[in-house]
Chains A and B, each alone.
Chain A
């Protein structure tokens, strides 16, 4: 009798308590064990509270670099793991995912991306820093499905217009962009052409030419926040010298940036991140540094995650910082 009462109690346990418990567990626990226990737990696993953010930033591909496109070969087992986790989590989330974060070294394939896009129509925020294995049609198809997309973290790509054009056509609320890699004049002019209403732009930890920065400040009239923290700022010079590093931001740039709500800069010699950007020649190799460092950002909306006491990943918004505090040695 007592045993039956016990079973009844557990099944009667409020769904919000179960959800509270499940919020403390990671994606692996949710997709492998919890959702397959019983119908009551399965129901709790489908609670939208658990799936507002699908954070796969602890999941990395097991890969080796190869000399031909797509320049990475991903081990079959890690591909299967990702497919399995995507399949289960997208089934449980029941289209309630609004933030999707992929690890810097998680090489998503075309099929995986389109499968995800079809099942995340509410997506507002996407962090996809590596898309070597995604072809142009796959990316376009995914963006067409994300009509609510507002924010994107993407790698520097050789042919930016197609993706930016898709975003401008299909994502009417799009306002935040973070580029992980050098932003050249071609990228900047593509931004000006297709995303003139962009409000937040982060180019941190990369090589940036002065004329590119000026073009961004001149052409993106709706820009409110620009983060160029730890960038190697360069200036193109006439023939024999070719280029030089700018040590501090000049009056022209300051003047143009004065209209911004936030202009985040850090060019300190004592700053560890600035040193790293220079060492890596404006093309920071994130895999060499602390795990999760690639996710940090000085801007108000780019602090992707914090570890809470139980190792659960929680989506948070960073507090606003006017200037980056240098990470001194």
Chain B
């Protein structure tokens, strides 16, 4: 309470006790200093001069019962003491709200009618914690509420009517895998032209081209060579940054965004073989790669994709299987811990 408010109080009002009347008609005497912690009571005393005697007791709102009033006064008694630390107050508050739901509801209602905002906030938070994570049925049970809503009002979730585009996605994944194999073959041919001595046998090379397990060390070496070559090329360039936007492509926050065109939409709808051709001429940049993902997660995704492919192929007609046969015969190289895979991002 401000000094101005205190100045308004008449000397005869400055008594240590005031009289309060609760909803059931019972009147009780309360320390004025504590009671005035409630804005509503403070207002009644200052503006109307009420509560000075039993005959002119302050009538409290309907929702304030004697039990809730005593709880509220306990709260006020603790909090109006000036020297307490925040830690003490917090600890007291935690203990204070340990009560059954019924009493907590009544206390919230009473505190609100007395305009005691700190207590309303405290009890509201406690009630919110009770409600959190509960189903409507559980909430009704806890608070003894009626189930008086119609089915329409309960707003059931929408049914999903959209077509599942996973098949088209799988086609794209297979197409990318085949493109990568062709790319490796081309790189190998270039290396042969440069007269690099390759100590592997013809059988090994053929099995590598066909996608069978080659020597992982060899693969790693070629990758490192490529990395070193790229590094050298970058150092030769004076520019410290890549051009952010190319002629027909802008990558935004890791997502590739291109000019919208009917052509792209048409390509998306085409068959698997057509998609393969489209992929053959496209470079994948860093935005398409997801690094830093747990190898265990990658393996899990590998298994899921293989399993999905297996189930998908068992359902498809034979002619569709023939279309994808080239992709299925080879080992799934797309989803490997070292490969440039499309992975679900843990963003």
Which residues of A approach B to under 8 Å, CB–CB? 3, 6-7, 9-14, 16-17, 20-22, 24-25, 29, 33-42, 60, 62-69, 71-73, 75-76, 79-80, 83-84, 87-88, 91, 104-105, 129-130, 132, 135-136, 155-159, 180-182, 184, 207, 232, 234, 240-245, 278, 281-288, 309-310
Q: Is the CB of A156 within 8 A of B252?
A: yes
Instruction: Given A88-B155, A155-B252, A287-B253, check contact A282 B127 (CB 8 Å).
Output: no
Q: Is the CB of A7 within 8 A of B241?
A: no
With beta carbons under 8 angstroms apart, the residue of A20, A34, A68, A84 that contacts B158 is A84
Q: Is the CB of B105 within 8 A of A24?
A: no
Q: Is the CB of B127 within 8 A of A21?
A: yes
Of the listed stretches B45-53, B129-137, B310-318, chain A binds B129-137
Q: Is the CB of B288 within 8 A of A65?
A: yes
Q: Is the CB of A71 within 8 A of B257?
A: yes
Nearest CB of chain A from residue B91's CB, rounded to whole Å: 15
With beta carbons under 8 angstroms apart, the residue of A40, A62, A281 that contacts B241 is A281
Q: How far is the CA of A237 from the CA of B294 in the complex (A)?
A: 43
Instruction: Given A17-B112, A79-B162, A87-B157, check contact A182 B124 (CB 8 Å).
Output: no
Residue of A nearest to B250 (CB): A158
Q: Is the CB of A38 within 8 A of B149?
A: yes
Can you list 10 A-B pairs, Cβ within 8 angstroms, ordered by A?
A: A21-B128, A25-B128, A34-B136, A42-B153, A72-B255, A73-B169, A155-B253, A156-B250, A159-B259, A283-B244
Q: How far is the CA of A33 from the CA of B347 in the complex (A)?
A: 27
With beta carbons under 8 angstroms apart, the residue of A16, A20, A285 that contacts B254 is A285
Query: Could you mark each residue 247-276 of chain B with 1 if its beta carbon is under 8 Å from any beta carbon of chain A, else 0?
Result: 000111111111111001101100000000
Instruction: Given A243-B241, A282-B241, A282-B244, check contact A33 B112 (CB 8 Å).
Output: no
Q: Which range holds the interface residue count of chain B?
A: 35 or more
Instruction: Given A71-B256, A130-B253, check contact A42 B244 (CB 8 Å).
Output: no
Q: Is the CB of B147 within 8 A of A38?
A: yes
Residue of B nearest to A3 (CB): B144
Query: Could you mark each residue 131-171 of chain B with 1 if its beta carbon is under 8 Å from any beta carbon of chain A, else 0?
Result: 11111100110011111110001110110101011000100
Q: Is the CB of A232 within 8 A of B241?
A: yes
Nearest CB of chain B from residue A159's CB, rounded to whole Å: 6
Of the listed stretches B8-16, B69-77, B337-345, chain A binds B337-345
Q: B44: CB under 8 A from chain A? A: no
Contacts of A180 in B (CB 8 A): 252-253
Contacts of A132 in B (CB 8 A): 255, 257
Main secondary structure of the interface of A (DSSP, over half): mixed
Task: How many A-B residue pairs have C-beta atoms within 8 angstroms? Tell me.
Answer: 218
Chain B positions 101-135 with a Cβ under 8 Å from a chain A Cβ: 102, 105-106, 108-109, 112, 120-121, 124-125, 127-129, 131-135
Q: Is the CB of A13 within 8 A of B288?
A: no
Nearest CB of chain A from residue B72's CB, rounded to whole Å: 15
Residue of B nearest to A311 (CB): B132
Contacts of A71 in B (CB 8 A): 255-258
Of the listed stretches B28-36, B193-201, B279-287, chain A binds B279-287
Contacts A68-B268, A84-B157, A182-B244 given; 8 further ones with Cβ under 8 A?
Answer: A6-B102, A20-B120, A33-B134, A34-B136, A36-B154, A60-B347, A75-B344, A158-B258
Q: Is the CB of A66 within 8 A of B172?
A: yes
Nearest CB of chain A from residue B305's CB, rounded to whole Å: 11
Residue of A nearest to B176 (CB): A67
Q: How far is the CA of A309 from the CA of B145 in the complex (A)?
A: 28
Nearest CB of chain A from residue B342's CB, rounded to whole Å: 5
Nearest CB of chain A from residue B45's CB, rounded to whole Å: 24
With beta carbons under 8 angstroms apart, the residue of A60, A67, A88, A310 that contacts B279 is A67
Q: Is the CB of B155 within 8 A of A10?
A: no
Residue of B nearest to A179 (CB): B252
Contacts of A37 in B (CB 8 A): 136, 139-140, 145, 149
Q: Is the CB of A38 within 8 A of B155?
A: no
Contacts of B155 in A (CB 8 A): 35-36, 87-88, 91
Nearest CB of chain A from residue B332's CB, rounded to whole Å: 16
Instruction: Given A65-B255, A66-B342, A130-B253, check contact A9 B106 (CB 8 Å).
Output: yes
Contacts of A73 in B (CB 8 A): 165, 169
Nearest CB of chain B from residue A133's CB, rounded to whole Å: 11
Instruction: Given A9-B105, A21-B124, A76-B160, check contact A67 B244 (CB 8 Å).
Output: no
Q: Is the CB of A17 within 8 A of B120?
A: yes
Q: Is the CB of B342 within 8 A of A65?
A: yes
Q: Is the CB of A136 within 8 A of B136?
A: no
Q: How far is the CA of A71 from the CA of B345 in the complex (A)?
A: 14
Residue of A nearest to B153 (CB): A42
Instruction: Given A13-B109, A69-B258, check contact A29 B131 (CB 8 Å).
Output: yes
Nearest CB of chain A from residue B118's CB, rounded to whole Å: 13
Q: B245: CB under 8 A from chain A? A: yes
Question: What 4 A-B pairs have minimum CB-CB distances, sorted nearest first?
Answer: A287-B347, A24-B128, A84-B157, A181-B252
Q: Is the CB of B245 within 8 A of A182?
A: yes
Q: B240: CB under 8 A from chain A? A: yes
Instruction: Given A36-B154, A84-B158, A158-B258, check contact A29 B145 (CB 8 Å).
Output: no
Q: B231: CB under 8 A from chain A? A: no
With beta carbons under 8 angstroms apart, the residue of B120, B129, B143, B240 that contacts A245 is B240
Nearest CB of chain A from residue B150's CB, rounded to whole Å: 9
Q: Is the CB of A80 within 8 A of B160?
A: yes
Q: How far is the CA of A3 from the CA of B240 in the complex (A)?
A: 75
Q: B242: CB under 8 A from chain A? A: yes
Q: Is the CB of B267 within 8 A of A39?
A: no
Q: Is the CB of B252 within 8 A of A36?
A: no
Q: B86: CB under 8 A from chain A? A: no
Contacts of B260 in A (CB 8 A): 69, 135-136, 158-159
Nearest CB of chain B from residue A288's CB, rounded to whole Å: 8
